[in-house]
Amino acid sequence: MSVPRFWRELGTRYNLIGSYCKLTKTYHFPRRSFDPEAGRESMGTMEDYQFKGDGEVVNATVVHQSQTGYEMFGPYCMAIIKLDEGPRITSQIVDCDPKTVKPGMKVKAVFRKLGEDSESGILHYGTKFALKEIPEIEEEDESLSNIEL
């Protein structure tokens, strides 16, 4: 991502800002200049909307092999989250054991490090999500862990 584009997107990245269409009364994330359902009719009816950041996990997966430069985050959980206002977004779930994240769990937006350009470069921060209630980790069945393959 270019430096100018990065700085232009800071407001959205740091504040979870999307759009609300007054015509169809629907919320969108990321921000849109028109509502795809209403088309041209919605131009001029869109306004910026600050999402509350509360939502629910629709589905989740654990990423075991991180991309180059993101090894410090692995393994980590990526989830599709339905915000309380309606839009679905993909985000990382943090501050919990990735294996404990299940559909239906309530989450809230948190501000975390996204990455860095180099060892001494610019740090990038943004929105990730954390579970509202941390589930207890179930102990593995010892009889299954002693099986030799």
Query: Longest C-alpha distance within the chain, in Å?
Result: 66
Q: Is the pLDDT of residue 6 over 80?
A: no
Domains of the chain: 52-132 (2.40.50.840)
| Amino acid 117: pLDDT | 72
pLDDT in tens, 76-108: 999 999 999 999 999 999 999 999 999 999 999
Q: 65 pLDDT band (50/70/90 cuts)?
A: confident
Q: Residue 7 carries which side chain, given as an amino acid letter?
A: W
- Select from 47, 76, 83 the least CA-distant residue to 60: 76
This prediction's pTM: 0.77
| Amino acid 120: pLDDT | 67
CB neighbour list of residue 85: distance below 8 Å, 6 or more residues apart: 27, 49, 51, 52
